[in-house]
Amino acid sequence: MSKLEQLIAEHCPDGVQFKTLGELGSFYGGLSGKSKADFTDGNAKFITYMNVFTNMALKIDVPEKVKIGVNEKQNTIQYGDILFTGSSETPDECGMSSVLTERTDEKLYLNSFSFGFRLNNPDILMPGFAKYLFRSDSLRKQIKKTASGVTRFNVSKKKMESVVIPVPPLPVQSEIVRILDNFTELTAELTAELTAELTARKEQYIYYRDLLLTFGNVSEDTLTDRQTDRQTDRQTDRQTDRQTDKIN
C-alpha cells in the first residue's frame, strides 16, 4: 500500500467528499470600466488573459500595469483564488485555470476577459492542490460543458457553480502535491536535457554538412572535434532512475 493509499484509508475511510463550487465559494469578475489609455503607464499589476491561460500557478512577477485610482473600487486577486479564462474560440480552451499560489502584499488586478473564484473557507483547498485539480481531465470535461456560443464561446458562471470537485483532507492533498511536483520537476529536467542535446546535434549537423561539402582535407582540428562528438554521444544517457526515485 502506497503512502497516498494509507492516508486515504486513514483520513477518509468512507471515501473522499465531493462538493459543488457553488457550495464552496463565489465568483467575481475582472476589471471593469477601463479604457485603452488606462493600460499605459499604470500604477498596479495587471494579470493578463494569457497569464491565466498558460500557467497553472499564476505568474505575479509581471510587467503589465493598469491605472487604478485612489478610491477606485475593483476586485483584487487574493492568495488561493482560482482564476478562469472567460471565453475562447473553441469550448476546449474555455475556462482554463490558474491559481495564485504565492503570498504577496501587492494588489493584483484581473483582466476583464477572465473571472475569479474565492473559497468561503480558504483552508479547505491547498493552492498547490487546486492548481493541479482544475487542470485535470475530469474537471476540464465539466468546465468545457459550461461554455456556449457559435463563433466564440463564453463560460457561464451560473453553470460553473454546479461543477463538482473532490475535497480530500489536507494530508491527502499534500501527498498528491508532493507526487505531482516531483513529476513536474522531472519533466522540466528531462526537457532541459533534451533541448541541450538537440542543440548539440544541430551544431554537429552544421559542422559535418560544411565539412562534407567543402571537400577539403581532414585536419587535426577535425579529428579533435570528432572526439568531442563521441564524448557528447556518451553524455546522452539519462539519470531517469535516480530522478524517478524522488517520486516514489
Cβ 209 vs Cβ 201: under 8 Å? no
Residues 190 and 241 in one domain: yes
Q: How far apart are CA 66 and CA 115, in angstroms?
A: 17
Q: Is residue 153 part of a domain?
A: yes
Q: Is residue 192 part of a domain?
A: yes
Q: Is residue 46 part of a domain?
A: yes
Question: N- to C-terminal Cα distance for the chain?
Answer: 12
Mean pLDDT along residues 88-98:
94
Q: Is residue 211 part of a domain?
A: yes
Q: How far apart are CA 2 and CA 178, in angstroms?
A: 13
Q: Is the pLDDT assigned to residue 189 strictly greater than 90?
A: no
pLDDT at 6: 85
Residues 227 and 110 in one domain: no
Q: How far apart are CA 168 and CA 35, in angstroms?
A: 43
Mean pLDDT along residues 197-224:
71
Mean pLDDT along residues 175-186:
89
Residues 61 and 163 in one domain: yes
Per DSSP, the three-state class of 104 is coil
Mean pLDDT along residues 28-33:
96
Mean pLDDT along residues 12-31:
94
Residues 141 and 206 in one domain: no
Residues 87 and 150 in one domain: yes
Q: How far apart are CA 246 and CA 186, in angstroms?
A: 9
Considering the chain, what is the average pLDDT of its residues? 87
Q: Is the pLDDT assigned to residue 245 strictly greater than 90?
A: no
Mean pLDDT along residues 124-132:
96
* Residue 106 pLDDT level (bands cut at 50, 70, 90): very high
* Residue 216 pLDDT level (bands cut at 50, 70, 90): low
Assign residue 86 the CATH number of its domain. 3.90.220.20
Provide the CA 98 distance to its chain's centre, in angstroms.
6
pLDDT at 186: 86
pTM: 0.78
The residue that leads in pLDDT, 244 or 68, is 68
Own/partner pairs for 8-14, CB < 8 Å, 24+ apart? 8/168, 8/172, 10/171, 11/168, 11/169, 11/171, 11/172, 12/168, 12/169, 12/172
Mean pLDDT along residues 206-218:
68
* Residue 134 pLDDT level (bands cut at 50, 70, 90): very high
Residues 67 and 113 in one domain: yes
Q: Is the pLDDT assigned to residue 227 strictly greater than 60?
A: no
pLDDT at 226: 52
Mean pLDDT along residues 165-190:
90
Residues 229 and 135 in one domain: no
Number of compact structural domains in the chain: 2
Mean pLDDT along residues 79-84:
98
Where a domain ends, among 167, 197, 213?
Answer: 167
Residues 205 and 85 in one domain: no
* Residue 185 pLDDT level (bands cut at 50, 70, 90): confident
Where a domain ends, among 145, 167, 189?
Answer: 167
Residues 136 and 185 in one domain: no
Mean pLDDT along residues 219-232:
52
Q: Is the pLDDT assigned to residue 151 strictly greater than 70?
A: yes
Residues 154 and 183 in one domain: no
pLDDT at 223: 46
Percent share of the chain, pLDDT over 70: 84
What's the domain range around 138? 17-167
Residues 134 and 227 in one domain: no
Q: Is residue 230 part of a domain?
A: yes
The residue that leads in pLDDT, 51 or 91, is 51
Q: Is residue 3 part of a domain?
A: no
Q: Is residue 5 part of a domain?
A: no
Q: How far apart are CA 81 and CA 130, in angstroms?
A: 9
Where a domain ends, among 167, 201, 236?
Answer: 167
Residues 42 and 85 in one domain: yes
Q: Is residue 81 part of a domain?
A: yes
Q: Is the pLDDT assigned to residue 51 strictly greater than 60?
A: yes
